[in-house]
Structure 1
């Protein structure tokens, strides 16, 4: 237990530049307090002391504002920054080196007593306010942007933003110089890209009109078959960004 606490303190130093001392981490980091109480509750849960495990979880929520079901499975070096409003459901599985920010929900999508919460593989970062719902898998070293809503599997090394969550970038690794890169704010803007595709489609329509009016001022029309290919391509991109999700 003492070894795990020391590792948790080192993790706080690695992922929060505001840390100034081990005493500060021990006394002023509710995310770690919630994790430590979860571990006690989880040990009891695995020994079938269900009520006592849930009571410890309830007290952790009262003291920290973070709700972690004692039946969840959580790996090493798990870090919760700020933490208020986080909810982690019973069948959630979290790998090593995962980071959650405040307001994150790892929630279920069915009333049945089955695997109904997400699985987050090693190195995942979930931004503030994001909702990850259902028995889906978030691949290792992926990033979920703030306030995103994700309900489909996410490939590893992906960056997801928006509602519904859309993969907008891929990265080979979030590990730099032996540490996790926390620059999760450097995300693409799928709405701006979608609008760009709309404008491109409008330009193609104008070019098509020019093919029927060759005397129009400045007309430099494309062949009709090329316009059809461009239009279909842009429509597919637009659907992906605006309504297609992952």
Structure 2
């Protein structure tokens, strides 16, 4: 899946894979995530898997320090993931993110809520998340949604919706085409 991440970065930037790999913090974080997630999901014997995951955690923490991007190996992220700018990105270890999604700097996808609202977001495919947005709690974000910058999402969002505000409200149903 890392190949689809690189292809998406190349599409947006027009730069070579080598230049992107050397200069793009989002790709560094995705590489560590994809490698660690592969180990996490593997059927390796525990005696091999646990030391490899320990090394993965060390690399993940290093990436967090260098780039400000926290993507735990146990979360689930689909293909063609794009991090627009580095810094301040936190994804919960139980979060589920679909295919072909874009996130910007300062985004938090985390646990929150009380009772049956307590939990972690599940995001479908083709979602754009603007800078400094927070998605928190046991919520589902439908496919093709746009979440405007500085929005707080604490409720389910129907597919093809554009939302904005604190808490976020639907402003139209034009979807994410043109944003992804």
The TM-score bracket by the shorter chain reads 0.7 to 0.9
| Mapped contact 2:82–2:101 kept (Cα < 8 A) | yes
TM-score (norm 1): 0.63
Q: Where do 1:30-49 residues align within 5 Å?
A: 30-47=25-42, 49=50
> Could you list the runs of 5+ residues in structure 1 that have no partner in the other structure?
176-180, 184-246
The answer to whether structure 1 residue 109 and structure 2 residue 112 are counterparts is yes
Root-mean-square deviation (CA, aligned residues, Å) is 2.2
Deviation at 1:61, TM superposition (A): 0.8
Dislocated runs of 4+, deviation >6 Å: none
Q: Where do 1:219-238 residues align within 5 Å?
A: none
> Could you list the runs of 5+ residues in structure 2 that have no partner in the other structure?
43-48
Q: Residue 159 of structure 2 corresponds to which residue in structure 1?
A: 156
Deviation at 1:110, TM superposition (A): 5.7
| Mapped contact 2:128–2:176 kept (Cα < 8 A) | no
The answer to whether structure 1 residue 10 and structure 2 residue 21 are counterparts is no
Distance 1:93 1:20 in 2: 29
Distance 2:119 2:108 in 1: 13
Distance 2:32 2:150 in 1: 27
Q: Relative CO higher for 1 or 2, CA cutoff 8 Å, sep ≥ 6?
A: 2
Who wins on radius of gyration, i.e. which is larger?
Answer: 1
TM-score (norm 2): 0.85
Query: Which of 18, 23, 30 in structure 2 is aligned with 1:28?
Result: 23
Spell out, residue by residue over 1:165-200, the C-alpha distance to the aligned partner (whole angstroms, 9 max, x if none): 1111102x534xxxxx128xxxxxxxxxxxxxxxxx
Aligned residues: 170
Distance 2:119 2:142 in 1: 17
Q: Where do 1:59-78 residues align within 5 Å?
A: 59-78=62-81
Deviation at 1:51, TM superposition (A): 3.5
What SS does structure 1 have at the residue aligned with 2:37? helix
Spell out, residue by residue over 1:44-102, the C-alpha distance to the aligned partner (whole angstroms, 9 max, x if none): 33356354443232122122210011110000000001121100001100110000000
